[in-house]
Amino acid sequence: MEKLELTVNGYHYQVQVEPDETLLDMLREQLKLTGTKSGCNKGECGACTVIMNGMAVNSCLVPALQARHAEILTIEGLSKGEELHPIQEAFLASGAVQCGYCTPGMILSVKALLDNNPKPTVAEIQEGISGNLCRCTGYEQIVQAVQSLAGKKV
């Protein structure tokens, strides 16, 4: 076991991790942040997407030890108590949430996109969410939700 220090959703943590433990497993099992979903565990579905040091990453592919001293944002860190984040509100308003399994990862990919490009084109939105699979929505509502946020501070 190795000691790992990192910041998750604005809180500092010190945890003990196995050398082969993933960031996904550490978040879910040790910190009990279960909004980050385990999908394929191969980096292909995006259900486990979190923001690490400002970049969207597949937490199933990131060794936990690689997150040493990192800043991590999970879906639990977006809302302020009962107040939803604007991206979450846009997803609800646009009908971009169906079964919800992909939603946390999708929302974090959108956040990373909008943080870097506040006015993305449809093609840029499609590219920004291309690492996140959704079997329910057909993506149209998701793109509409992101378009509704273009140019707004999120």
Q: Is the pTM of this model over 0.75?
A: yes
Q: pLDDT tens digit string along 34-87?
A: 999 999 999 999 999 999 999 999 999 999 999 999 999 999 999 998 999 999
Q: What is the CATH number of the domain that holds 62?
A: 3.10.20.30
Q: Are residues 63 and 94 in the same domain?
A: no
Give the model's pLDDT for residue 5.
98
Q: Are residues 68 and 114 in the same domain?
A: no
Residue 151 pLDDT > 90, yes or no? no
Distance CA 5, CA 121 (A): 38
Q: Look up residue 34 and give its amino acid.
A: T
Residue 154 is assigned to a structural domain of this protein: no
Q: Are residues 52 and 91 in the same domain?
A: no
Q: Are residues 136 and 95 in the same domain?
A: yes
Work out the mean pLDDT of the chain and round it to a whole number.
96
φ and ψ of 71, to 5 deg: -105, 120
Residue 63 is assigned to a structural domain of this protein: yes
Q: What is the CATH number of the domain that holds 105?
A: 1.10.150.120
Question: In terms of DSSP bridges, do strands 11-17 and 49-52 run parallel, antiparallel, or are they unpaired?
Answer: unpaired
Question: In terms of DSSP bridges, do strands 55-58 and 2-8 run parallel, antiparallel, or are they unpaired?
Answer: unpaired
Q: Are residues 13 and 55 in the same domain?
A: yes
Domain that includes residue 59, residue range = 2-76
Q: Are residues 71 and 90 in the same domain?
A: no
Structural domains counted in the chain: 2
